[in-house]
Structure 1
């Protein structure tokens, strides 16, 4: 597989993640850890069925070194745990803004990997994308940092570091097959269920909500992690990091199309900045 194709495959995760906010709003009162438990369980089970259908043994994917389990489960579950904790402990706009430092961290961390080089163009593109995301998340109104929300801000920062580290360190575990992500999802589902039982009240989903949870497990909380693994291991990490800033933008656009958000000049300006950042970071001038 070429690096270009792997990058395109990895970029499809961004499209899938952009549907998560809309699907989550449609699930109504179902609490977040219950959503994650069900969706990750669907993702893991579908991954195992997919392996079996293609003649690959699920058990060979299950047998991975401890470091792979630590990174896989720590990345998937650790990120979501810290993100939900941040949203419960700090205002959503500020927490989201800090959380969306992870695309910039991917670009920066990637420069430390063997065989990779961090250039000024990648850093500039990531910063321009961060500016666009900041504008989108804050609505152009700025933010007020209240020390009372420090635990939530720290949790959001931890979420950003966790996902940035998980994404880039996956490159060092290229020998771990993407099929193993199915079992990382099942472990994440089990840990999310424990958090749900300990922290939340169960809401019994109706037929429509079960359909939405299944779609989440097939898409933004399922296939997205498999294709992202391919992109991180075999694609252009710098480009994928910069393109990741499109996630909140595409998510907002979908909410607007669904009538759950309003279009504005802020969204348009954010769009231009995020696109500009991605172009700057991924631009490769022709050699003479």
Structure 2
């Protein structure tokens, strides 16, 4: 099997894992509150990442990478896993899974908007139109198609879902300033985020009691969403000659996710969800094409 074939396999496996996450979030939140889910899932992911780093013989890199940028890692740990996941789980706690997961896929648009002031990138008219198309899709999903009435199923849930995209975009913008092994770096972020999570969970909720089903669901979220999916995605990107092709495979995930949501959670999928999700993904793909074209022109000039 060629490297490109392996990359496609890893990307498809990642998309399949990602597609189960929205359903897993809702199941977990039926047994845990968002604070408990953040704590137990992040604790599980931190344990997994620690084992992976030790197996790979990279444990010595943990302190050396942290020492290079301690302040940056403290900020990254605050953003992810702490703020991003507590806000995201809060959104899933208030919204149907189909809405929360579709809104979450607008994060590349948030990244485009934030990159302009924070990274000094020019926001072209074409990019702005892509952003408007994506957020028109967001509006359709939020209102279940009744956008003329602005009838949101949960305004707080929508606000949290969109806030999570901004936090995730900020995390990736700050992450571009970090060098070193990516898995070790993610582990350091989780270690730096854990004190925030422990303190917030103790203050606003509690670690116990939780059911076995709740603990199992949280462990699944930690192992899959925060652990194995990330590692498989890194493998796909490392092996692929064409990262754009691999990135496009990831957009199978939200549509596969709707199948799990409908059949496991029993949600009736609104036509507006499909329409809005298509608008978001078309806008994101168009934005990626524009960015690649701009980068190519810069390199040839």
Specify whether residues 75 and 23 from structure 1 end up closer, same or farther in structure 2 by C-alpha distance, changes over 3 A only.
same
Stretches of structure 2 that go unaligned for 5 or more consecutive residues are: 1-5
1:125 alignment counterpart: 130
Q: Which residue of 2 aligns with 1:29?
A: 31
Aligned-partner Cα distance in 1 for 2:243–2:118:
10
Kept in 1: contact 2:58–2:184 (CA 8 A):
no
Written as runs of structure 1 = structure 2, the 5 A alignment for 1:231-250 is none
Q: Does 1:179 align with 2:184?
A: yes
Distance 2:263 2:127 in 1: 32
Tell me which moved more, 108-117 or 47-56: 108-117
Q: Alignment partner for residue 74 of structure 1, among 75, 78, 95?
A: 78
- The alpha-carbon deviation at position 254 of structure 1 amounts to 2.6
- Whole-Å separation in 2 of the counterparts to 1:267 and 1:182: 35
Q: State the Cα distance separating 1:253 from its structure 2 match.
A: 3.9
The number of residue pairs the alignment matches comes to 276
Q: Distance in 2 between matches of 1:122 and 1:240?
A: 22
Match of 2:198 in 1: 193
Q: Are the counterparts in 1 of residues 142 and 158 from structure 2 also a CA contact under 8 Å?
A: no
2 CA distance for matches of 1:244 and 1:181?
20
Q: TM-score, normalised by structure 1?
A: 0.70
Change (3 A) 1:62 1:189: same
Q: Deviation string for 1:44-85 (max 9, x for gaps)?
A: 111111111111124434434223223311211123344566
Within 5 Å, which residues of 2 pair with 1:60-71? 60-71=64-75
Which has the larger helix fraction? 2
Cα distance change, pair 111–225 in 1 and its aligned pair in 2 (3 A): farther
Question: Which TM-score applies when normalising by structure 2?
Answer: 0.68
Out of 254, 278, 287, which is 1:272 matched to? 278
